[in-house]
């Protein structure tokens, strides 16, 4: 239920400015006090409704307070099910492990053991890097331009973003940056570049322990690698005995139209990191999936107090059972993704050269703006119109659509219509041509002044 007005007024707007650290970021872009959320909708303390095209940066793939997962969680709590368990064996964890094997891994021909790490994405990346170093006895990790892997020191050392790196306060060694697919322009295959860098004994690069990458770069601007590129990377890693780590923290759990982002390439990564939408419910949960020969840990050698969030295991298991036993859900993501992509493409066609292209895959796509300031104005104005949507990329130039995968078609249209309207307003293109292109698909007229 929405709060009584009187209740809402008790929230002091200044409390965050006064008492919370300056480090806040999303809160500055969306300066309201939120109170309630369901599916793809959020409400602030004044009862105003918003559509959520951010969904916890991809942590809410199954929507806010998903009713199926919520019921499983409520039932478990009512029965006094274990909440916190370090790494003790619990029935909730057993169910999750079984569901993961039976529903996700076995049907895809993937044989991994599961390491539960601390509950954040960066925790699982730290563990993955340690495993690769311990298993190979080497130190270097290759990462790619525009990659983002978290902000603790190890994960940060393989993250390209200078703004985040500067905050480390110490050098970030033992990591080598290489160009992502497409980074050196259309004519250059960056796998050739990587192969040469690793093969030439005169270039001073020691053989790395691992290569880490995102198949679709969430924070780095929705760049993607081609299937061919990914296959060649796997081949190169196999040839040289380098551990291939796919960071599927953001692109995994269905976001790109398959459970794992790398599935279309048919590769078999050595290690996969998962977090964000893994619990399905926005509860903290992270794992490393690793091939058995890489399970080189001695008992207790890597630990963490919050490795046993049983509430997350309950909702994760419910998520796997409900959405992943058949292909129906994944197909709906592909369908909605391509609908969204078409609508965004029509905006690009209309507002080129201010809008450059549509990027990404599945329901992890966005529009690249020529001028990052314009992207900023567009997302701010969208928020005024009741749409929560963020940007990504080196200069925050990409408007990124990350609505829950469960978003209904009318909601999808509603959000894209808002976006189309604010883009049209911001770019000030008020021609018949734009009117025609912008008002296609959803059938809603954008009331552009001609
Ligand atoms: C968000 C993210 C991380 C870090 O996860 P946190 O929970 O924020 O520590 C790592 N890798 C990728 C690809 C991410 O999107």
With 70 as the cut, is the pLDDT of residue 228 above it? Answer: yes
Q: How far is the CA of 149 from the centre of ligand 1 (A)?
A: 5
Residues 6 or more apart from 237 whose CB is under 8 A from it?
211, 243, 244, 270
pLDDT at 429: 60
Region of residue 92 (phi > 0: left; psi between -120 and 50: alpha; otherwise: beta): alpha
Local structure of residue 380 (DSSP, 8 states): H
- Ligand 1: nearest atom to the Cα of 284: 7
The tokens of 245 are what? 């780590």
Helix residue spans in 137-183 (DSSP H): 153-157, 162-166
Mean pLDDT for the stretch of residues 159-167 = 95
| pTM (predicted TM-score) | 0.94
pLDDT at 433: 47
- Report, in angstroms and rounded to the nearest whole number, the Rg of the chain calculated over CA atoms: 22
Q: What angle do the packed helices 67-78 and 310-323 form, to 10 degrees?
A: 140
Parse the chain into domains and list their residue ranges: 4-61+328-449, 68-323
Mean pLDDT for the stretch of residues 168-176 = 97
pLDDT at 241: 98
Q: Is the CB of 149 under 6 A from ligand 1?
A: yes
With 80 as the cut, is the pLDDT of residue 6 above it? Answer: no
CA max distance for the chain? 72
Q: Is the CB of 148 under 6 A from ligand 1?
A: yes
Q: What is the DSSP string of 314-353?
A: HHHHHHHHHHSSSSHHHHHHHHHHHHHHHHHHHHHHHHTT
Interval 231-262: pLDDT, tens: 999 999 999 999 999 999 999 999 999 999 99
Q: Is the CB of 404 under 6 A from ligand 1?
A: no
pLDDT at 204: 86
Interval 75-88: pLDDT, tens: 999 999 999 999 99
Measured from the Cβ of residue 152, the count of other Cβ atoms closer than 10 Å reads: 16
The tokens of 420 are what? 């189309």
Inter-CA distances, 181 with 174, 206, 217, 224, 337, Å: 22, 22, 11, 7, 22
Q: Is the CB of 272 under 6 A from ligand 1?
A: no
Q: Is the CB of 133 under 6 A from ligand 1?
A: no
Same fold, 4-61+328-449 and 68-323: no
* Residue 103 to residue 80: CA distance in whole angstroms: 27
* Residue 263 to residue 104: CA distance in whole angstroms: 11
Q: What are phi and psi of 49, to 5 degrees?
A: -95, 145
Q: Is 411 helix (H, G, I), strand (E, B) or coil?
A: helix
With 50 as the cut, is the pLDDT of residue 4 above it? Answer: no
Q: Is the CB of 214 under 6 A from ligand 1?
A: yes
Q: Is 244 helix (H, G, I), strand (E, B) or coil?
A: strand
Tally of CA atoms within 13 A in the half-sphere of 287 that contains its CB: 22
Inter-CA distances, 330 with 98, 250, 325, 407, 421, Å: 21, 16, 10, 13, 30
Q: What is the DSSP string of 255-272?
A: TTSSSSTTGGGT---SEE
The tokens of 65 are what? 């307070």
Residue 70: its H or E element: helix 67-78
Q: What are phi and psi of 312, to 5 degrees?
A: -65, -35
Q: Is 91 helix (H, G, I), strand (E, B) or coil?
A: helix
Q: How far is the CA of 150 from the centre of ligand 1 (A)?
A: 5
Mean pLDDT for the stretch of residues 211-224 = 98
With 90 as the cut, is the pLDDT of residue 444 above it? Answer: no
- Ligand 1: nearest atom to the Cα of 218: 15
For the ranges 14-18, 69-73, 79-83, 336-340, which has the lowest average pLDDT? Answer: 14-18
Q: Report the C-alpha dihedral over residues 155, 283, 19, 53, rounded to 10 degrees.
A: 80
Mean per-residue pLDDT over the chain, rounded: 93
Asked: is 4-61+328-449 a CATH 3.10.150.10 domain? The reply is no
Q: Is the CB of 282 under 6 A from ligand 1?
A: no
Q: What are phi and psi of 89, to 5 degrees?
A: -75, 130
pLDDT at 432: 37
With 80 as the cut, is the pLDDT of residue 447 above it? Answer: no
Local structure of residue 298 (DSSP, 8 states): P
Local structure of residue 6 (DSSP, 8 states): H
Question: % helix / strand / coil in the chain, to the nearest 5?
Answer: 40, 15, 45
Q: Is the CB of 117 under 6 A from ligand 1?
A: no
Pairing between strand 34-38 and 112-116? unpaired
Give yes or no for a contact between 348 and 355, defined as CB atoms under 8 angstroms apart: yes
* Residue 181 to residue 160: CA distance in whole angstroms: 15
Q: Is the CB of 360 under 6 A from ligand 1?
A: no
* Residue 41 to residue 411: CA distance in whole angstroms: 9
Pairing between strand 49-52 and 387-388? parallel
Q: How far is the CA of 443 from the centre of ligand 1 (A)?
A: 37
Asked: is 68-323 a CATH 1.20.140.10 domain? The reply is no
Q: How far is the CA of 160 from the centre of ligand 1 (A)?
A: 13
* Residue 62 to residue 55: CA distance in whole angstroms: 9
Q: Is the CB of 275 under 6 A from ligand 1?
A: yes
Q: How far is the CA of 450 from the centre of ligand 1 (A)?
A: 44
């Amino acid at each position: 239920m929405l709060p009584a007005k009187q209740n809402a007024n008790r929230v002091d707007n200044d409390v965050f400015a006064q008492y919370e650290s300056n480090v806040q970021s999303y809160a500055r872009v969306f300066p309201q006090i939120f109170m309630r959320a369901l599916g793809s909708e959020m409400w602030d303390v004044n009862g105003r409704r918003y559509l959520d095209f951010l969904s916890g940066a991809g942590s809410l793939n199954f929507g806010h307070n998903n009713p199926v997962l919520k019921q499983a969680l409520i039932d478990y709590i009512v029965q006094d099910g274990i909440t916190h368990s370090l790494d003790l064996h619990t029935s909730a964890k057993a169910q999750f492990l079984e569901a993961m094997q039976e529903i996700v891994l076995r049907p895809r021909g993937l044989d991994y053991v599961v390491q539960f790490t601390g509950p954040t994405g960066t925790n699982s990346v730290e563990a993955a890097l340690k495993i690769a170093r311990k298993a190979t006895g080497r130190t270097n990790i290759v990462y790619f331009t525009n990659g983002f892997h978290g902000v603790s020191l190890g994960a940060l050392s393989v993250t390209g973003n200078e703004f985040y790196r500067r905050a480390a306060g110490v050098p970030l060694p033992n990591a080598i940056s290489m160009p992502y697919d497409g980074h050196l322009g259309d004519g250059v295959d960056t796998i050739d570049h990587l192969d040469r860098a690793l093969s030439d004994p005169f270039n001073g690069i020691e053989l790395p322990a691992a290569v880490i990458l995102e198949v679709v770069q969430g924070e780095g601007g929705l760049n993607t690698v081609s299937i061919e590129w990914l296959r060649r990377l796997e081949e190169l890693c196999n040839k040289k005995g380098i551990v291939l780590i796919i960071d599927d923290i953001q692109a995994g759990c269905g976001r790109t139209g398959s459970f794992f982002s790398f599935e279309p390439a048919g590769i078999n990564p050595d290690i996969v990191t998962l977090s964000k939408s893994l619990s399905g419910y926005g509860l903290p949960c992270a794992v490393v999936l690793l091939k058995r020969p890489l399970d080189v840990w001695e008992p207790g050698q890597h630990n963490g107090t919050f490795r046993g969030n049983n509430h997350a295991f309950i909702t994760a298991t419910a998520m796997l059972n409900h959405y992943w036993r058949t292909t129906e859900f994944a197909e709906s993501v592909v369908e909605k993704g391509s609908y969204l992509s078409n609508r965004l493409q029509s905006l690009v066609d209309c507002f080129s050269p201010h809008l450059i292209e549509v990027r990404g895959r599945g329901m992890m796509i966005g529009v690249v703006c020529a001028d990052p300031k314009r992207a900023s104005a567009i997302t701010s104005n969208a928020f005024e119109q009741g749409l929560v949507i963020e940007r990504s990329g080196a200069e925050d130039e990409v408007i990124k659509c990350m609505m829950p995968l469960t978003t209904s078609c009318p909601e999808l249209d509603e959000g894209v219509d808002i976006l189309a309207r604010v883009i049209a307003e911001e770019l000030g293109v008020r021609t018949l041509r734009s009117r025609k292109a912008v008002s296609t698909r959803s059938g809603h007229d954008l009331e552009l002044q001609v």
